Amino acid sequence: MKQLYFVIFLFVSSLAFAQESQPNGDIEGFKLYPNPTIDGKIFINTSQNAPKTIHIFDVLGTQVFEATILGKELNVSNLDKGVYILRVFEKDKVATRKLIIK
């Protein structure tokens, strides 16, 4: 019985350590505008203004777009009208927002 408790303890401990390796929190000063967008361009502003990796997913969770930007402007004119999930990675931070393209 002690062995079972020990195995469960190791499993729970490994989950705790695995969660610590995830990006830690929202990006400071994150702004996404205009949302909804009409002209196919969005601007992503952050406090650090570091290079950002962008992933865009449709509502089914399929990745439909990926890019890395150095500035603030992102061209999404090749995406169809609809609702998307935008995920932005900057250094060790991540921000997730809903993006609407009209």
Per residue in 34-83, pLDDT tens?
A: 999 999 999 999 999 999 999 999 999 999 999 999 999 999 999 999 99
The angle formed by the CA atoms of residues 9, 10 and 15, to the nearest 5 degrees, is: 100
In this structure, which amino acid lies at residue 48?
Q
Rounded average pLDDT over 12-16: 53
Q: Residue 12: its pLDDT value, please?
A: 55
- Domain residues for the domain of 68 are 25-101
Tell me the pTM: 0.74
CA 48 to chain centre: 16
DSSP-derived secondary structure for 3-27: HHHHHHHHHHHHHHHHHHTS--SPP
pLDDT band at 11 (very low <50, low <70, confident <90, very high): low
Which DSSP state fits 49? -
What is the CATH number for 42?
Answer: 2.60.40.3080
> What total number of domains does the chain contain?
1
Of the candidates 86, 63, 76, which has an alpha carbon nearest to the alpha carbon of residue 94?
86
In a domain, 86, yes or no: yes
In a domain, 1, yes or no: no
